[in-house]
Amino acid sequence: MIFSAARQRPGIGHGLVVYGMISAAALIVDLVLLDRFLAIGLNAALAAAAAYGAGVAVHWVLSARTVFARGAGDRGSSRRRRQKLLFSASALVGLGITTVIVGLGASLDWDVRVAKLLAIGISFAALWVLRRLYIFAD
Protein backbone atom coordinates (compact mmCIF):
# COMPACT_ATOMS: atom_id res chain seq x y z
CA MET A 1 0.00 0.00 0.00
CA ILE A 2 1.26 3.49 -0.80
CA PHE A 3 0.85 4.81 2.76
CA SER A 4 2.92 1.99 4.27
CA ALA A 5 5.64 2.75 1.72
CA ALA A 6 5.94 6.22 3.27
CA ARG A 7 7.33 4.62 6.42
CA GLN A 8 10.04 2.86 4.45
CA ARG A 9 11.16 5.72 2.18
CA PRO A 10 12.11 8.77 4.21
CA GLY A 11 12.94 11.03 1.24
CA ILE A 12 11.46 14.50 1.34
CA GLY A 13 10.08 14.20 -2.20
CA HIS A 14 8.27 10.95 -1.53
CA GLY A 15 7.10 12.20 1.85
CA LEU A 16 5.73 15.34 0.24
CA VAL A 17 3.79 13.27 -2.31
CA VAL A 18 2.23 11.10 0.41
CA TYR A 19 1.58 14.21 2.52
CA GLY A 20 -0.16 15.70 -0.51
CA MET A 21 -2.34 12.61 -0.85
CA ILE A 22 -3.26 12.77 2.83
CA SER A 23 -3.96 16.46 2.49
CA ALA A 24 -6.24 15.68 -0.45
CA ALA A 25 -8.22 13.19 1.65
CA ALA A 26 -8.55 15.71 4.48
CA LEU A 27 -9.46 18.38 1.95
CA ILE A 28 -12.31 16.28 0.59
CA VAL A 29 -13.75 16.08 4.10
CA ASP A 30 -13.19 19.83 4.51
CA LEU A 31 -14.80 20.83 1.20
CA VAL A 32 -17.80 18.52 1.50
CA LEU A 33 -18.53 19.87 4.98
CA LEU A 34 -17.94 23.46 3.85
CA ASP A 35 -20.49 22.97 1.08
CA ARG A 36 -23.02 21.43 3.48
CA PHE A 37 -22.50 24.15 6.11
CA LEU A 38 -22.97 26.90 3.51
CA ALA A 39 -26.09 25.13 2.23
CA ILE A 40 -27.68 25.34 5.69
CA GLY A 41 -26.86 29.03 5.91
CA LEU A 42 -23.83 29.20 8.21
CA ASN A 43 -21.65 32.31 8.04
CA ALA A 44 -18.84 31.74 5.50
CA ALA A 45 -15.96 32.16 7.96
CA LEU A 46 -17.63 29.95 10.60
CA ALA A 47 -18.43 27.30 8.00
CA ALA A 48 -14.82 27.34 6.78
CA ALA A 49 -13.47 27.04 10.33
CA ALA A 50 -15.73 24.12 11.28
CA ALA A 51 -15.04 22.23 8.06
CA TYR A 52 -11.32 22.83 8.43
CA GLY A 53 -11.38 21.41 11.96
CA ALA A 54 -12.87 18.15 10.73
CA GLY A 55 -10.21 17.94 8.04
CA VAL A 56 -7.51 18.43 10.68
CA ALA A 57 -8.71 15.38 12.60
CA VAL A 58 -8.51 13.26 9.45
CA HIS A 59 -5.07 14.67 8.66
CA TRP A 60 -3.64 13.80 12.11
CA VAL A 61 -4.85 10.21 11.97
CA LEU A 62 -3.39 9.62 8.51
CA SER A 63 -0.17 11.64 8.60
CA ALA A 64 1.05 10.61 12.06
CA ARG A 65 0.74 6.96 11.03
CA THR A 66 2.26 7.26 7.57
CA VAL A 67 4.41 10.08 6.24
CA PHE A 68 5.60 11.20 9.68
CA ALA A 69 5.61 7.74 11.29
CA ARG A 70 9.43 7.70 11.58
CA GLY A 71 9.43 10.96 13.53
CA ALA A 72 6.32 10.23 15.56
CA GLY A 73 6.68 9.41 19.22
CA ASP A 74 5.44 6.10 20.60
CA ARG A 75 1.77 5.97 21.48
CA GLY A 76 1.19 7.23 25.00
CA SER A 77 4.65 8.78 25.28
CA SER A 78 5.28 12.36 26.33
CA ARG A 79 6.83 12.96 22.91
CA ARG A 80 3.63 11.80 21.19
CA ARG A 81 1.50 14.03 23.45
CA ARG A 82 3.78 16.97 22.62
CA GLN A 83 3.45 16.21 18.92
CA LYS A 84 -0.35 16.12 19.17
CA LEU A 85 -0.26 19.48 20.93
CA LEU A 86 2.08 20.99 18.32
CA PHE A 87 0.06 19.43 15.48
CA SER A 88 -3.06 21.04 16.91
CA ALA A 89 -1.23 24.36 17.23
CA SER A 90 -0.08 24.11 13.62
CA ALA A 91 -3.68 23.39 12.65
CA LEU A 92 -4.63 26.65 14.34
CA VAL A 93 -2.13 28.40 12.06
CA GLY A 94 -3.84 26.78 9.07
CA LEU A 95 -7.25 27.59 10.51
CA GLY A 96 -6.22 31.22 10.90
CA ILE A 97 -4.94 31.35 7.33
CA THR A 98 -8.14 29.73 6.05
CA THR A 99 -10.52 31.84 8.11
CA VAL A 100 -8.83 35.14 7.28
CA ILE A 101 -8.60 34.42 3.56
CA VAL A 102 -12.17 33.11 3.26
CA GLY A 103 -13.56 35.94 5.40
CA LEU A 104 -11.63 38.55 3.43
CA GLY A 105 -12.68 36.98 0.15
CA ALA A 106 -16.33 36.98 1.21
CA SER A 107 -16.08 40.65 2.23
CA LEU A 108 -14.72 41.39 -1.26
CA ASP A 109 -17.69 39.52 -2.79
CA TRP A 110 -15.53 36.65 -4.05
CA ASP A 111 -17.12 33.26 -4.35
CA VAL A 112 -16.30 31.57 -1.05
CA ARG A 113 -14.92 28.55 -2.90
CA VAL A 114 -12.42 30.70 -4.81
CA ALA A 115 -11.17 32.19 -1.54
CA LYS A 116 -11.01 28.68 -0.08
CA LEU A 117 -8.84 27.49 -2.99
CA LEU A 118 -6.37 30.30 -2.33
CA ALA A 119 -6.36 29.43 1.37
CA ILE A 120 -5.73 25.76 0.57
CA GLY A 121 -2.51 26.48 -1.30
CA ILE A 122 -1.12 28.87 1.28
CA SER A 123 -2.11 26.67 4.21
CA PHE A 124 -0.69 23.51 2.59
CA ALA A 125 2.75 25.07 2.12
CA ALA A 126 2.87 26.63 5.59
CA LEU A 127 1.78 23.46 7.38
CA TRP A 128 4.11 21.13 5.44
CA VAL A 129 7.07 23.24 6.56
CA LEU A 130 5.91 23.48 10.18
CA ARG A 131 5.14 19.80 10.50
CA ARG A 132 8.19 18.48 8.65
CA LEU A 133 10.74 20.74 10.33
CA TYR A 134 9.36 21.26 13.82
CA ILE A 135 6.78 18.69 14.83
CA PHE A 136 7.98 15.44 13.28
CA ALA A 137 11.68 16.14 12.80
CA ASP A 138 13.60 12.91 13.30
What are the per-10-residue average pLDDT scores of the chain (138 residues)?
45 77 93 95 89 88 85 83 89 89 94 90 90 84
> Quick check: 126 and 93 in contact, CB under 8 A?
yes
pLDDT of residue 15: 79
pTM comes to 0.67
> Quick check: 115 and 105 in contact, CB under 8 A?
yes
At residue 123's C-alpha, the angle toward residues 79 and 63, to 5°, is: 40
pLDDT of residue 98: 84
Chain Cα centroid distance, residue 114: 18
pLDDT of residue 26: 93
pLDDT of residue 100: 94
What burial class does residue 75 get, using C-beta atoms within 10 Å of its C-beta: 0-12 exposed, 13-18 middle, 19+ buried? Answer: exposed
pLDDT of residue 72: 78
